Amino acid sequence: MAEETLSLVGPAFLKGEVTVSGSKNLALPLLATVPLFSSKFVFCNVPNILDVHIMLRTLSSMGIDFSWRGNTLELDCCKLRYIDLISPALSELRASFLFVASFLSRFGHAVIKKPGGDQIGDRPVDIHLEGLKSLGYEANFEGDVIRFRRVRQVSDAEFVLKYPSVGATEQLIIASVVGSGRKVFRNIATEPEVKHLISWLSSCGGKINLYPEQRVVEIESVSFLSAQQAFFVPGDRIEGITWLLAGLLCGNDEIVVKGVYYEDLDNVSGLFKSLGVQFQEDKIISKRLNGFANLNIVAEPYPGFPTDAQPMMAVLLSQGLGVGKIKDNVFPNRFAYLSELSKLGLQFEFKENTTIIVGPQKLTGNEVVARDIRAGIALVLAGLIASGTTSIKQVNHLRRGYELLETKLLSLGAKVLSDQSLEYVF
């Protein structure tokens, strides 16, 4: 089948209301916890996206039944069995590496393909491995496969992450929640997704105390987990930022964004409020911004500015007045998207790990390639402000994380068309 192309005709004049889908970066670790359970349970507001489907296919191959009702996902873990986690699709999806934690907890061993690097950098797993070692698990490499096994029965453990990695923090929490003894992890990631993962495990009987200010989590391992009630996946904060940026860039009238937890955006609300965005308990309101002084963005671990939103900020900076800067201290090489934006006419300089964009600039439609999900959505925003047609290839990256993208864009008044309509529909 020919590759899907998404075309946008700009400049767009948007208005209306949009509801963000459930968080991708929470849904994936939630699905990685499923092998910890032996019963049936329900997740609500699960985004119907490619990455979730890859995780579900894997759960299915380990004997877990699931069914969708709208965005509600019912899971039945009664027939869980061990499998080696080596299907090619899994190594493409980094979050699948979190199955190691639930497998080690449940079976004491796991075999998994090493996650690949990607457009945003090397993406090592050394912190995951060091942390799991402190819990008594040894990792052996055989080519591109890693074999984990329990070599020591560890009751109490303490481990300091050398960097607050989101994935490694989630890995260690999932690996520790069931068992015996007390585990303490320091210098952990405190992203909202980590907090929500802890809420889910706590609602199932997990005894987890998070001290976000100190970057510490303490876990009293429990003998089993039992899901008492359906867990609602909060709205995706990065999708929330996407739509508020769409408002700032082309909100002809107000764009009202619903479904994001207010607290999940507390680290960026100050910045966006200074650009006129209104944050209310149940909605965000954003409107076209003309003539703003350009910005200096530095992506850092939470509560810093989120790295996943920095590619989209390059599009906003192209419309600011004067010198704008972006630096990424989480993924310092996450700038490959700039060469695609330059095909739309974006001019930038790169000095000392910092991108410099002097605005305002005029963008013009062209053919571009979405090299990863966040690069792809930056191209969508750029396509909305560019004059003429922007055709985006490798749309599969957008399908990995954005549910009903064209439907939402169309509802706001954008002119957008996929030549294959590969949006997931129930």
* Positions that interact with ligand UD1 (CB under 6 A): 25, 28, 94-95, 121, 123-128, 163, 165-168, 189, 193, 307-308, 330-331
Query: CB of residue 305 vs ligand UD1: minimum separation in angstroms?
Result: 11
Closer Cβ to ligand UD1, 164 or 365, answer by number:
164
Closer Cβ to ligand UD1, 69 or 123, answer by number:
123
Phi, psi (deg, nearest 5) at residue 346: -65, 130
User: Which one, of 106, 119, 165, 208, lies nearest residue 394 by Cα?
Assistant: 119
Closer Cβ to ligand UD1, 129 or 395, answer by number:
129
124/121 Cα distance (integer angstroms): 9
Closer Cβ to ligand UD1, 370 or 414, answer by number:
370
How many C-beta atoms surround the C-beta of residue 88 within 10 A? 8
Closer Cβ to ligand UD1, 28 or 201, answer by number:
28
Residue that the structure tokens 């960026």 belong to? 268
Query: CB of residue 68 vs ligand UD1: minimum separation in angstroms?
Result: 21
Closer Cβ to ligand UD1, 198 or 363, answer by number:
198
205/39 Cα distance (integer angstroms): 14
The residues with which 255 forms a beta bridge, in sequence order, are 16, 286
Query: CB of residue 357 vs ligand UD1: minimum separation in angstroms?
Result: 21
Residues present in the chain in total:
426
Q: Provide the 3-class DSSP secondary structure of residue 67.
A: strand
Query: CB of residue 130 vs ligand UD1: minimum separation in angstroms?
Result: 8
Query: CB of residue 231 vs ligand UD1: minimum separation in angstroms?
Result: 17
User: Which one, of 206, 103, 216, 221, lies nearest residue 156 by Cα?
Assistant: 221
403/239 Cα distance (integer angstroms): 10
Based on its alpha-carbon atoms, the radius of gyration of the chain, rounded to whole angstroms, reads 22
Closer Cβ to ligand UD1, 58 or 307, answer by number:
307
User: Which one, of 365, 250, 374, 346, lies nearest residue 9 by Cα?
Assistant: 365
Query: CB of residue 8 vs ligand UD1: minimum separation in angstroms?
Result: 24
Cβ distance 320 to 311 under 8 Å? no
User: Which one, of 340, 378, 383, 346, lies nearest residue 361 by Cα?
Assistant: 346
Cβ distance 44 to 211 under 8 Å? no
> Which residue in the shown chain puts its C-beta closest to ligand UD1?
167
Query: CB of residue 375 vs ligand UD1: minimum separation in angstroms?
Result: 12
65/74 Cα distance (integer angstroms): 8
Closer Cβ to ligand UD1, 359 or 401, answer by number:
401
Tokens of 238: 């990065």
Query: CB of residue 279 vs ligand UD1: minimum separation in angstroms?
Result: 21
Query: CB of residue 38 vs ligand UD1: minimum separation in angstroms?
Result: 26
Closer Cβ to ligand UD1, 70 or 124, answer by number:
124
Closer Cβ to ligand UD1, 240 or 320, answer by number:
240
In order, the DSSP letters of 179-223 are SSSEEEEES----HHHHHHHHHHHHTT-EEEEEGGGTEEEEE-BS
Residue 192: asked if its preceding bond is cis (omega within 30°), the reply is no
Query: CB of residue 56 vs ligand UD1: minimum separation in angstroms?
Result: 15
User: Which one, of 372, 379, 393, lies nearest residue 5 by Cα?
Assistant: 393
